[in-house]
Amino acid sequence: MRKRTLFVASLLTVGLTGAFVPGASGALTPAPARAQGAQDDPTQTLVSRLTLDNYKTMLKGLTQFGDRRQGTQRNRDAVDWIEAQLQAVSCTNTERIVYQYNPAPRNPGPVRNTGARRGGPPPPPDLTTPTGGLVGRNGNGPGGSSVYGYRARTGVNRDLDAQPDERIRNLNREEPVNGERSEVYCTKIGTTRPNEMYIIGAHMDGHGVNEAVNDDGSGTALVMELARIFNAPDVETEVSIRFALWNNEETGTNGADAYVAQRRDLQGVESPAGSGRYPEPTWLGMIQHDMMMWDHGAPRQDGTVSRDQRPEADVNIEFQSDSEMAEESMKLAFVFKAAADTYNTDYPAAVGPHMTNTDSRRFQDIVPSISLRENERGAHTGGGWNPTWHTPLDVWTTFTDDDFRLGLNAAQTTLSAISQLTGATVGGR
Ligand SMILES: [Zn+2]
């Protein structure tokens, strides 16, 4: 039996309250309003430690591994680099999930949407005719929920020659092979409730013969930046926080699958008994970050997309309306919106019901689960709003500071919400 009702009443009570702290028995207990200045607000202090430069530097670092496609050396090198970065920002208790990924060989179907021409130099990337142009009106193409208005074609580029940048082509030459995979996480241990945690995730693998900047370097860098800030020596949280960089998202969330399969039954178990240590704190919520930066509006009638960010750009917080935890996930989404309304510097946040197609779906029937994105997953990304999605255009040079700043605002949203939910303090206050 799936829950589909009873959203509205709780929405009205949750959505209008500004601050939340953990209660004695779990998440999402509203806190009384605090009568104090901004200088005494630990959440404001933490948000001020996020900067555009730091976010961009972390994201740029990820581009050295090309598209970080799973099953390649560049993917393994990226996992190693991420682990070293987490340790460098004092999230030193890194661990790995190890699993096997052995898919049957692919059908070598037609290569789609690459723009490549055999026998000549590849065409330069062109944002005005990005992925094949107009398909039609009103949802007659693939992907997601109902789409109104025009939609553009989407698809995964598999053609090396479609990438015009020789350096990036060379980074991405190796094809995946079956076998062992790993993914890394680290944990901020809570002071009073170390046996409970929020999981903050993003997927570090990408594909499309590019630098996987937006999908999903933008979410990976966000999670790594939050790991830096929450693990600063003067920061404490009552509740634990896990920072997880999933692998194999692009093949069907196989890395998140492996995590849930291996860790679900260990929740809340003290090990060794009497040690006060909980290798898998009980899950209070899962917050995924997947594609944070591109919000340039709908395709035009001819299938082209604007080079400029749209004036309505926002952070989309989504829960899954047909999941077992739909009502609890919606409440969590509105806690995040309330935090965004208070702490985001440049962009608002909006809540929607169509999370789908990212690692948090593996958690959505177990624990309150949401995703943060640049666009609504079904109507926008699925409708071709993002010409960089899985294409040679997902490279550093495509994005402007407007785009990077939208990613930064998503980081502000999650940082402030999690600060409140975990009872964070800075310097003992
Ligand atoms: Zn993604």
**Is pLDDT at 125 greater than 60 in this prediction?**
no
Q: How many domains does the chain have?
A: 1
d(CA 175, CA 162): 16
Ligand 1 centroid–CA 266 distance in Å is: 27
What is the DSSP annotation of 23-47? ETTEEEEEPPPP---GGG-HHHHHH
Ligand 1 centroid–CA 249 distance in Å is: 7
Beta strands in 247-324 (DSSP E): 282-289, 315-318
Write down the pLDDT at residue 429. 85
168 domain residue, yes or no: yes
Ligand 1 centroid–CA 244 distance in Å is: 14
Average pLDDT over residues 155-165: 94
172 domain residue, yes or no: yes
Distant-in-sequence, close-in-space partners of 152: CB < 8 Å, separation ≥ 6? 130, 131, 132, 133, 134, 135, 299, 303, 304, 305, 383, 384, 385, 387
**Is pLDDT at 365 greater than 90 in this prediction?**
yes
Ligand 1 centroid–CA 389 distance in Å is: 9
40 domain residue, yes or no: no
Give me the percent of the chain exceeding a pLDDT of 70: 81
Ligand 1 centroid–CA 373 distance in Å is: 10
pLDDT bin (cut points 50, 70, 90) of residue 136 is: low
d(CA 298, CA 294): 11
Ligand 1 centroid–CA 263 distance in Å is: 23
Ligand 1 centroid–CA 303 distance in Å is: 22
d(CA 416, CA 423): 11
**Is pLDDT at 39 greater than 50 in this prediction?**
yes
Mind listing the pLDDT tens digit for each residue in 249-284? 999 999 999 999 999 999 999 999 999 999 999 999
65 domain residue, yes or no: yes
Ligand 1 centroid–CA 38 distance in Å is: 35
d(CA 82, CA 245): 8
Ligand 1 centroid–CA 217 distance in Å is: 9
Give the residue numbers spanning the domain of 276. Answer: 7-31+45-102+137-426
305 domain residue, yes or no: yes
Ligand 1 centroid–CA 269 distance in Å is: 32
Average pLDDT over residues 29-53: 76
Ligand 1 centroid–CA 371 distance in Å is: 11
Ligand 1 centroid–CA 290 distance in Å is: 5
66 domain residue, yes or no: yes
Q: Which of 120-134, 236-250, 270-284, 404-418 has the lowest mean pLDDT?
A: 120-134
Pairing of strands 235-236, 315-318: unpaired
Mind listing the pLDDT tens digit for each residue in 187-224? 999 999 999 999 999 999 999 999 999 999 999 999 99
Decide: 141 and 150 in contact? Cβ < 8 Å. no
119 domain residue, yes or no: no
Ligand 1 centroid–CA 2 distance in Å is: 26
d(CA 176, CA 68): 10
- The overall average pLDDT reported for the chain is 87
**Residue 402 belongs to a domain with what CATH number?**
3.40.630.10
Ligand 1 centroid–CA 212 distance in Å is: 9
Ligand 1 centroid–CA 237 distance in Å is: 29
d(CA 108, CA 208): 16
124 domain residue, yes or no: no
Write down the pLDDT at residue 139. 46
201 beta partners: 244, 288
d(CA 288, CA 333): 12
Ligand 1 centroid–CA 124 distance in Å is: 24
pLDDT bin (cut points 50, 70, 90) of residue 112 is: very low
Decide: 197 and 368 in contact? Cβ < 8 Å. no
